[in-house]
Amino acid sequence: MRLPLSHSPEHVEMALLSNILAAYSFVSENPERAALYFVSGVCIGLVLTLAALVIRISCHTDCRRRPGKKFLQDRESSSDSSDSEDGSEDTVSDLSVRRHR
């Protein structure tokens, strides 16, 4: 005795066709509701995409900003100690570098 296979190709095709016909009949009977569902889905997708982009950009800038501050503080402290040793020429170049930042 064989049990009928519920996942046979014919059964899957018929289920797909049945779902397509059911969706078409729903849309034809309720066009306003179908449009509302469609627009709501698009808006929710756009909001989620925007939120993901904002989170990605904020995390990306935070990760780059933290190591850079420490590096700049170390660099400024080393340039301050070299200013007192070297003389006035380095002071002018350091001022132009600071203005450039």
Contact 11, 5 (CB under 8 A): yes
pLDDT digits (tens, 9 = 90+) for 40-74: 999 999 999 999 999 999 888 877 766 555 555 55
What pTM was estimated for this model as a whole? Answer: 0.45
In the chain, where the domains are located:
36-67
What the block records as the tokens of 55 is 């989170």
Average pLDDT, the chain: 76
Distance of CA 11 to the CA centre of its chain: 40
Res. 34: pLDDT tops 90:
yes
Please report, for residues 18, 19, 69, 76, 94, the alpha-carbon distance to residue 87 in angstroms, rounded to integers and kept in the order given.
86, 83, 26, 16, 11
Task: Give CA–CA dist 11/93, Å, rounded.
Answer: 79
pLDDT digits (tens, 9 = 90+) for 73-88: 555 555 555 555 555 5
pLDDT band at 3 (very low <50, low <70, confident <90, very high): very low
pLDDT at 10: 82
Res. 90: pLDDT tops 90:
no
**Of 47 and 100, more confident:** 47
Contact 7, 16 (CB under 8 A): no
